[in-house]
Amino acid sequence: MMSLSRVDLIFISRFLKPATILPFAQQQQASRWLRHPDRTLHTSMVRHHFLDARDKDHEKKEKQLVVHQGEYFDNATKAKNKTTFIEVIQFYLRKNNIYRRGHVEFMYAALDRMKDFGTNRDLDTYKQLLEIFPKGKMVPQNAWQVEMMHYPKQQQCCIDILDQMEENGVIPDDELGYQLKGIFGDKSHAFRKYRRMMYWMPKFRFANPYYVPYNLPEDKIELSKLALRRMSVDLQNNVSVYMSNELSLATDHTYIVSSQSPYQTQLIQQHPVEKPVFVEGGFNVWLRSASLSYFVLRSDCTENYAQFQVTKELSAKKIDTFQSLMFEEEKPQSLVIPPSVHEQEDGTVLAMCITGTSSKDSLASWVKFLERKNPKLAEIPVIFLLRTPEAELEVVNRAEKKSDVAR
């Protein structure tokens, strides 16, 4: 054991600032050491496992306790919704009203199952979860308890709850702040986390000009329209919805959401007939937790874009010398129309689409629908450069495969 004097106590306290995030074992040992200065103190991760008085399998046992407490939610016979989730919390409070044994493990189990019950973005559910903490018992009484994270296991659990709120974009309110103040006090680490969230989250909530709502539409067509509107930089962009069963030759019956602007239609009319256009994809676009595959109809760089790049490079070469400024003759420069937002370095984007199956047949149907508004597209060769599989991977049974080989 290591005995520490009061001088060591003052020296170490200067380095254990509130911003220092200590592991749970070190926080627990530090809080014990304040009450019993003759006990062991851990100050590094190297000595953490060597001097820890707890069992070596304490982390495994804590996980087992979380799994055990999760049986409250797993045994729920009703539908998984907000009402059932709150009923499980209230049932736990009625059963453990006095001692609240295992309440930290129960709250971790509740955090893991909030998404299954659809309550991970509900502020009232988080308030109900914080009601499990006992009131007034864990409020620090002096500066030492504040700095050493009084009741570190409970405070870390509360910080993890606030972290999950932050990840899901749930902004706390004043009522939640009064809850934390009654549980841990206004000087605790958990309350500091709340104050930072109250300062920064309202500022960044609508900072993104292309805001994506948290509650995405369940209809895949509406979700595809939202994704195409977000990707299209042209304000005159038009989003159309087609059904492939309108075409007699289509074999893959699904929906097709297409995006094209009037200027892109004009680019197709100006495209040479002898040069092909390409259908490329699929590329992934994310809307919150939803992933969609989109495809692009593009062509090679236009002559106007190449000429504009050459003119831009020549104008950038300026020689700042006295002779060039005084005696060099002015050279006439040709006027070049600047390219549009659709004309990029790797090609010109002519249209975009999202289909229900992302198959080659659905993309061929999309090209047929584009020919209605772009008649010249029927004369231009179209090359499909697809990298998305048309079907999902199939699991092959090894036993059946061996029997087929034996035959």
pLDDT tens digits for 28-43? Answer: 444 444 443 333 333 3
The pLDDT of residue 31: 46
The pLDDT of residue 368: 92
Compute the distance between CA of residue 404 and CA of residue 407 in angstroms, rounded to an integer.
Answer: 5
How much of the chain is helix, strand and coil, in % rounded to 5?
Answer: 50, 10, 40
Token pair recorded at residue 31: 């809080």
The pLDDT of residue 19: 39
Burial class (CB in 10 A: 0-12, 13-18, 19+), 322: exposed
The pLDDT of residue 32: 43
The pLDDT of residue 24: 44
Compute the distance between CA of residue 81 and CA of residue 95 in angstroms, rounded to an integer.
Answer: 22
Question: Which ranges of the chain have pLDDT less than 70?
Answer: 1-70, 305-336, 388-407
- 3-class secondary structure, 361: helix
For 290-341, the pLDDT digits (tens) are 899 999 999 887 777 666 666 666 555 554 444 455 555 555 555 667 777 8
Token pair recorded at residue 21: 């995030």
Q: Tell me whether the omega of the peptide bond preceding residue 282 falls within 30 degrees of 0, making it cis.
A: yes
Tell me if 317 sits within 8 A of 340, measured CB to CB. Answer: no
The pLDDT of residue 142: 92
